[in-house]
Structures are given as structure tokens and as C-alpha cells.
Structure 1
């Protein structure tokens, strides 16, 4: 049976992405391996270091820029992360880190969702059970 081991997010700056995903969202760095001008850079949930890894991939492939721009222009998140309480998390991100909130928390079926800007060309959805 397959399982998700890695999930990639294309970023325009790996250092800025590392600061956002680790220092702001709270992911734990796992791998940071130099590969020429870029790095193999992954993070995990802090309470699950052997779980699924989030890979912060350079967005230099010619197809990636237009794809990312189209998603952002249409307000479509590139990925989603579960948090215990979206309302509290959005307040923390905005208040403690000045994160740009693109969509305020709102009910969406059995979930509450919000969307934030990751500072690296992506929108990220946060969700929690309602």
C-alpha cells in the first residue's frame, strides 16, 4: 500500500521559505543538504519527525512560475495544513509574525478554513475540524 512520504512546495527563495515554514508555521527542519546552488530542504511536523516530509523545492523550472502565478491570482492554495484551531492560529500568525491573511477563517462543511501567504509565491490553506 503506498503512503505519502514527501510533499513538495515550489518556493522562490529557500532561505525565506525555511524561515516561514519553520520559524512561523512551526515545522521542524529535517534535511538541509547542499546541491549546487540549491538544497534538498525538508521539514516535518515537530511531533512526527519520521512522518511525511515537506520539501521546499526551488521554483526554477519554466513551467512552475506561470503555474504558481495562476494559482495565486485565482486564490487557490498550493497545499493545506491541519491545525488544532484555525481562528487561534490565524490570530497568532498575524499578531506574532505579521503574516498576510488572504482569506479569514470561515466554515467549509465540517472544517474551518483560512488562507495565508507564505512569502514565497504561494497561498497556503490552514484548516481545522469545526
Structure 2
């Protein structure tokens, strides 16, 4: 078995698609705007996708809001150079919760995806 797709609930799937593709550099795997459906991939791995799912279900919205208000990342993205990504994304206007920090698990930094989520970057 392998992970094929996971989802992240967003406040606006079309805006999230723009952010994840234009700002973060993900590739579009599927875009069906009339169905509010967008799937992206960060590294081109065939069949591996991140579904930018609308938070129109009350349970999903309560979860998304609760996780955000607690300051918890909704998803962790790996990077071989968190500090380099921090510089690149900060220059692009991405709002980070602080500078990259290093701990026993590696280097991390958390940013706001502009669509209702905090995202953690992680480097081993």
C-alpha cells in the first residue's frame, strides 16, 4: 500500500489552487472548477495528490477552524531546504508564524496558506 491522495479542507478551493500552484509550485493533477475540485501534486509523483477540498460540510469546517485556532498545522510538507523555502516564500508574500527553527526532529517553519490552514515545512 501507499498513500495515493490526502485532502486538506480549504475555505476557497479555487484560491487554494492558485496559491498551491502559483506560490508554492505544485502541479495541477486535476482541475474541475465547475465542481470546485482541484487536486495538486508537489513533486510529480504519479498518482500522488493533495485534494483541495471545500469546507462546506459543517463537520469539516468545524475541524478546519478548530485546528487553525489551536495553531496546529493541517499538513506537513517536506523540503530539503526549509530555510531556502522560507526565504523564497517570504519574498513571495507568504506569512510565516516565525522563522525556521531547529530541533531534534529537524528544521521546521509554519506558514498560513491563505485558505484557512497552517502548513508546516519540515526538513530532516
Compute the TM-score of the two structures, normalised by the length of structure 2: 0.92
Partner in structure 2 of residue 94 of structure 1? 90
The structure where strand makes up a greater share of residues is 1
Q: Aligned ranges for residues 1-130 of structure 1 at < 5 Å?
A: 2-34=1-33, 38-48=35-45, 50-95=46-91, 97-129=92-124
Rounded to whole Å, the distance in 1 between the matches of 2:18 and 2:32 is 16
Rounded to whole Å, the distance in 2 between the matches of 1:125 and 1:11 is 16
Runs of 4+ that moved beyond 3 A? none
What residue ranges of structure 1 are gaps of 5+ in the alignment?
Answer: none
Cα RMSD of the aligned pairs, angstroms, is 1.4
Instruction: Figure out how many residues of one structure are paired with residues of the other and give that number.
Output: 124
Rounded to whole Å, the distance in 1 between the matches of 2:114 and 2:103 is 25
SS of aligned partner of 2:110? strand
Compute the TM-score of the two structures, normalised by the length of structure 1: 0.88
